[in-house]
Amino acid sequence: MFESAEIGHSIDKATFDAAVPALREALLEAQYELRQQARFPVIILLCGIEGAGKGETVKLLNEWMDPRLIQVSTFDQQTDEELARPPAWRYWRQLPAKGRMGVFFGNWYSQMLQGRVHGRFKNAVLDQAIEAALALERMLCDEGALIFKFWFHLSKKQMKARLKSLQDDPLHSWRISPLDWQQSKTYDKYVRVGERVLRRASRDYAPWYVVEGVDEYYRSLTVGQILLDGLQAALKTKSRQEPQPHAAPLTSSLDNRGLLDSLDMSQALDKADYNEQLIAEQARLSGLLRDKRMRKHALVAVFEGNDAAGKGGAIRRVTAALDPRLYRIVQVAAPTDEESAQPYLWRFWRHIPARGKFTMFDRSWYGRVLVERVEGYCSPADWLRAYGEINDFEEQLTDAGVVLVKFWLAIDQQTQLQRFKEREQTPFKRFKITEDDWRNRDKWPLYRDAVGDMVDRTSTEIAPWTLVEANDKRFARVKVLRTLNEALEAAFAKD
């Protein structure tokens, strides 16, 4: 969930200065159009890590746009008047009117995050609060509102550095953060609870946008661009019955660096190391799957990746040392007639293994947010709601003891080209390359966006994505096996 926001996104000052005038003009224009149409309000919720730039961003938005049409509300201590009424009353009285923007700096999420981090209640109560928030947001959206939820993020290291620099700066030392943020345990808890909140509360009608906060230029441009895209899309809709206009890529990577770009693709294994490690990891997996602690668990591995990234080869290495009665490989292609007659997830549910068993999905339920999104096989409304549905689905699996490991096998364009050509030239590999593969290759940037969104939306504490640097097949195969083994051992250790 937060991976993409810990890779050190940055934009240099010159690029920033060059981009700002056009962005400001477009934002102002959108703002006046919003006032003119007066069809819907815009609600902006800000949350995230201390020191990640929430306050600065609000200041900047007020500078960039017409502050008379933005109303900033903070929700700290409740006033006497608020304490005398139901908790939601304070939010209702601050709602922006149609045609206006409201920034809720501190909001319903801040309160539940604080409460859970400080142990004032448990997950069941947190989940009730999340559901209440979603009910409110859905109602606001049904009534026409456009909602943006921003999570400003820093890695733990980034946060510590940031707090330190604020402390040392005489101009900012009054801003010293609450004491508890100085403790790294607070950071861990905050991120863990935040992850649960974002996973459950990111919905098509009101998604969360995670923004890396360490570089102010990147952060500011990113927030500005997301707002602009969302506003322009919403202003173009004809009626409030149309789908919520949040169809822009959820990850707006203005510095052209995504999570995939941050991989070290040069990683490789020589043949001797490979043989040794492969056999060791295969034996380890075979042992773990026969371990009696496996009775409480099932193992599900999802294999996704670029064409020719080596999914099939990796799967064969995984199964090499396994008892065939213990595992199944499910190859996901176009749905059968029977599958088409059912809800999307049905064809995956039917293959969920019983406890003690292991199922590998060669392509998976992520097809909806990859190929179906890029090729337009489903409507934007369908793939936009799929992230939430998939997270719900995976939570049901892991709640039942399923250990879920998800691999994205990544190769670069050059490597793909080589492998395609090699396939064409090798008679027994020719069946593996089709016109479709070449067509998909032309859509490389669209797939890159889709993969970025997918990882950001669905890499969760309970079911993280593992990005596998697969230019070197040997490295990739060993990493896959090792990741499976580590996931099983971690699950056993928690029992």
Which residues of this chain interact with a second copy, rule CB under 8 A? 38, 41, 81, 84-89, 92-93, 95, 97-99, 124-125, 127-128, 131-132, 135, 139-140, 142-145, 241, 298, 338, 340-346, 349-350, 352-356, 379, 381-382, 385, 389, 392, 396-397, 399-400, 402
Rounded alpha-carbon distances, angstroms, from residue 483 to 284, 466, 479: 11, 8, 6
Which residue, 62 or 78, is less far from a second copy as judged by CB?
Answer: 78
Secondary structure class of 7 (helix, strand, coil): coil
CB of 458 to a second copy, least distance (A): 16
CB of 100 to a second copy, least distance (A): 8
Which residue, 349 or 444, is less far from a second copy as judged by CB?
Answer: 349
Rounded alpha-carbon distances, angstroms, from residue 67 to 64, 129, 226, 462: 8, 32, 19, 41
DSSP 156: H
CB of 92 to a second copy, least distance (A): 4
Which residue, 386 or 478, is less far from a second copy as judged by CB?
Answer: 386
Residue type at position 143: E
Query: 95, 102 in Cβ contact below 8 A?
Result: yes
Which residue, 93 or 316, is less far from a second copy as judged by CB?
Answer: 93
Rounded-to-integer distance, Cα 164 and Cα 168, Å: 6
- Bridge partner residues of 466 (DSSP): 407
- CA end-to-end distance (rounded Å), the chain: 25
Burial letters 62-91, b for 16+ CB under 10 A, else e:
eebbeeebbbbbebeeeeeeeeeeeeeebb
CB of 395 to a second copy, least distance (A): 9
Which residue, 128 or 275, is less far from a second copy as judged by CB?
Answer: 128
Query: 242, 380 in Cβ contact below 8 A?
Result: no
CB of 41 to a second copy, least distance (A): 8
CB of 171 to a second copy, least distance (A): 40
CB of 350 to a second copy, least distance (A): 7
Which residue, 175 or 295, is less far from a second copy as judged by CB?
Answer: 295
Rounded-to-integer distance, Cα 223 and Cα 57, Å: 8
Which residue, 85 or 439, is less far from a second copy as judged by CB?
Answer: 85
Q: Which residue bears the tokens 């360490």? A: 214
Which residue, 389 or 412, is less far from a second copy as judged by CB?
Answer: 389
Closest Cα partner for 403 from 485, 477, 322, 458? 485
CB of 379 to a second copy, least distance (A): 8
Contacts of 77 (CB under 8 A, 6+ apart): none
